[in-house]
Amino acid sequence: MALVHGFPSRRSVLALLGFLAACAGVGQQAGEMGVRTGVVEQIVDVPLPTSHHAGVGAVVGGLAGLSVGSLIGAGSGRDVAMVLAAVGGAVAGNEVEKTHAQPVPGQQIVVRTGSGILISVTQPGVAGLRKGQVVYVEGHGDGARVVAR
């Protein structure tokens, strides 16, 4: 890249922008989703982690402990009681949240595409999918999902 007064020249910048635009144009456009077809080879039921917001129990428990601790003692003893009650409440709230978090039923679906490639997608349970069924695999990576054709 040629430098003019310490900065890249206009021609270098335009060439770089043209290259980047060409690279961005290859493949999918924004908002498009890749869809492949295939046949279900295997379906395994698996538990998926719940989608609840982790930490809510600790926050609620900590706030409850803080309010209870503020009722105890006076002066610096009150401050110590508030801190200890907040920490204890946060720990207790976190434990309660963990015991009530139930896994979501899901499926690991193995699909053989038309090109012979095996794809494994883990998603929340989809009623009606069965081995040997022709399906669509929408998207890629963690966002992929299998739907009936």
Could you tell me which residues are beta bridge partners of residue 38? 113, 135
Q: Check whether residue 45 and residue 110 sit in a common domain.
A: yes
Q: Check whether residue 134 and residue 63 sit in a common domain.
A: no
Residue 115 belongs to domain spanning? 33-49+104-149
> Structurally, how many domains does the chain consist of?
3
What are the tens digits of pLDDT across the range 71-95?
A: 887 788 888 888 888 888 888 877 7
As a whole number of angstroms, the distance between CA 124 and CA 80 comes to 46
Q: Check whether residue 108 and residue 144 sit in a common domain.
A: yes
Q: Check whether residue 16 and residue 44 sit in a common domain.
A: no
pTM of the model: 0.49
Q: Check whether residue 92 and residue 118 sit in a common domain.
A: no
Beta strand residue intervals within the chain, DSSP E = 3-4, 7-8, 35-48, 104-113, 118-124, 134-138, 145-148
Query: What residues contact residue 69 under an 8 Å CB cut-off, 6+ apart?
Result: 78, 81, 82, 83, 84, 85, 86
What are the tens digits of pLDDT across the range 18-46?
A: 555 555 545 545 555 578 899 999 999 88
